[in-house]
Amino acid sequence: MTEKTFAKYKLVIDEWFVNGFNGVRAYQKVYPKAKDSTADTSFRKILEIPRVLEYQKSKQADAQNTLRTSHEALLQELENWAYSDITQTLMLSPTQVKQLPDNIRRLITKFKHTSRKVKDKKGKVIETIDTVELHFVDKTKAIEMINRHTGFYEKDNNQKQAPAFVMFDARKKPQE
């Protein structure tokens, strides 16, 4: 493979990372005249080339380093989800929610702020009631993800497998 071809293949892989891992669209971005079926086949063939595969793996490693997605970091984040105490978020104003530590803010999946004004008979505002509604990550899902990641269910999965039978011929004498 020439350097010019490898450079084009690298562009395909780069586009694949950018567009959400759609190989057909990545191939067609670099080779615009390619039809869908051709792009699909060609992209799969590109991924089989050792030099391109090495480039793809280096891109993935760079992404992991950039995002800090090691096993330890992932388990630490899942542990934060599973064992977090959300009582720190009770009765907070929107500004106070923004000032929460990062590890607590990452638990919030939905934020809703409503403001209601209470008026007297003359229409004058007596009181403003602010309500902050927060939704958080699912703790049971976090625990399940931890269990899967650490191989907690492996024993159960192995128990469900059919037992291995050893066939032997009873007519033969056992070897001593």
CATH numeric code, 3-67: 1.10.10
Q: Are 21 and 71 in contact (CB under 8 A)?
A: no
Q: pLDDT tens-digit profile of 31-73?
A: 999 999 999 999 999 999 999 999 999 998 888 777 666 778 7
**pTM for the full predicted model:** 0.48
Letter for the amino acid at 153? Y
**C-beta separation of 45 from 76 below 8 A:** no
| Residues 107-156 pLDDT 10s | 899 999 999 999 999 999 899 998 999 999 888 888 888 888 777 777 66
pLDDT at 10 over 90: yes
Copy the structure tokens of residue 36: 């869908």
pLDDT given for residue 172 in this prediction: 64
Q: How far apart are CA 52 and CA 73, in angstroms?
A: 28
Please list the residues that pair with 132 across neighbouring strands: 113
Specify the pLDDT at position 160. Answer: 58
Q: What is the rounded CA–CA span in Å between residue 96 and residue 94?
A: 5
- Write the DSSP symbol of residue 135: E
- Using the predicted structure, report yes or no on whether residue 13 has a pLDDT greater than 90: yes
pLDDT at 36: 95
Domain boundaries, the chain: 3-67, 85-139
Helix (H, G, I), strand (E, B), or coil: what is residue 74? Answer: helix
Report H helices in 83-153. Answer: 94-98, 102-105, 139-149
Query: What's the whole-number mean pLDDT along residues 62-91?
Result: 81
pLDDT at 63: 81
The predicted structure's pLDDT at residue 147: 83
Phi-psi region of 21 (alpha: psi -120 to 50; beta: other; left: phi over 0): left
